[in-house]
Amino acid sequence: MSFGAQAHAQASGDPVTISALHKRFGALEVLKGIDMAIGAGKTVGVIGPSGSGKSTLVRCINHLEPIQQGRISVGVNGTTVTARGVENAGRVLSQGEVARYRAQIGMVFQSFNLFPHLTVLGNILTAPVGVLKRDKKAMIEKGMELLGKVNLQDKAKTYPAHLSGGQQQRVAIVRALMMDPKVMLFDEPTSALDPELTGEVLKVIAELAIRGRTTIIVTHELAFARDIADAIVFMDNGKIVEEGTPDEVLGNPKMERTRAFIGKMA
């Protein structure tokens, strides 16, 4: 299954720059000086063994995890994530301002994270109407259009418990897209799915979710990463071990650790 042709639409995203990023949980250092630059509209696949820091990395970008050292910049408006919090022009932003910062960054989790007490339509309306104060009628129209694109328009009044895992993940992707994000973050979006449901979610990611947005996707689906990514980053033990084009990292890795990991995944 090839995804590459649909993934690279005209760039409409924001650049992401990560400098000397350190993240600790107590005495455990999970990220050990990460440096990464992602051009506007580019897609980076992040691969590596469990516990290498991949998921923590994307959660730090969205400030779902505070950092202890370093700097993360998203876009060109001067907003940065530092050890102090989310800042702009030297001022630490309020919780409401941080929520608006997150609104420009779509996040899709491993475990869907849908609100169980809300219908599909309720889930996808909560952020644009509640956080961004957008017109509810217009958001309903937009939401139904996006649900139609992922073949879930007939599930608008359904609760998450009555959806398959693949359907829930497609709803989670639509929920992120409702905010018109410039950056998309995916944290192992198919790891909780049965193999037969994985393909439908990957197809939606490639054809609808990326579409020229700046994208970081943590994944164990190496063939998918090769098809849709402009660059691959291999992480191990909290560090970037190797990075380059998909052909370089997946096809002809330089580092023995990378070769060993890819050999086990093949």
Q: What CATH number matches the domain at 4-265, 3.10.20.30, 3.20.20.70, 3.40.930.10, 3.40.50.300? A: 3.40.50.300
Q: What is the pLDDT of residues 229-254, one digit of tens each?
A: 999 999 999 999 999 999 999 999 99
Q: Using an 8 Å Cβ cutoff, are 213 and 105 in contact?
A: no
Strands 183-187 and 69-74: unpaired
For the segment 147-175, the average pLDDT, to the nearest whole number, is 95
The residue assigned the tokens 């084009």 is 245
Domain ranges for the chain:
4-265
pLDDT (0 to 100) of residue 153 = 96
- Residue 174's nearest CA partner among 100, 117, 121, 102 is 121
46 phi and psi, to 5 degrees?
-110, 120
State residue 231's pLDDT score. 97
pLDDT (mean) for 196-212: 88
Residue 128: HSE in the Cβ half-sphere, 13 Å Cα cutoff: 24
Give SS3 for 137. Answer: helix
Q: What percent of the chain has pLDDT over 70?
A: 95
Both tokens of 192, joined, read: 């909780």
Q: Which residues of 11-50 are buried (b: 16+ CB within 10 A; e: fewer)?
A: eebbbbebeebbbeeeeebbbeebebebbbbbbbbbbbbe
Who wins on pLDDT, 99 or 168?
Answer: 168
This prediction's pTM? 0.91
Q: How many CB atoms within 10 Å of residue 254?
A: 11
User: pLDDT confidence of 196, banded at 50, 70, 90?
Assistant: confident
Q: Does residue 36 carry a pLDDT above 80?
A: yes
Residue 6 has a pLDDT of: 41
The pLDDT assigned to 2 comes to 39
- 45 and 4 in contact (C-beta within 8 Å)? no
Dmax over Cα atoms in the chain, in whole Å? 55
Q: What angle do CA 14, 19, 23 make, to 5 degrees?
A: 110
- Across the chain, mean pLDDT equals 91
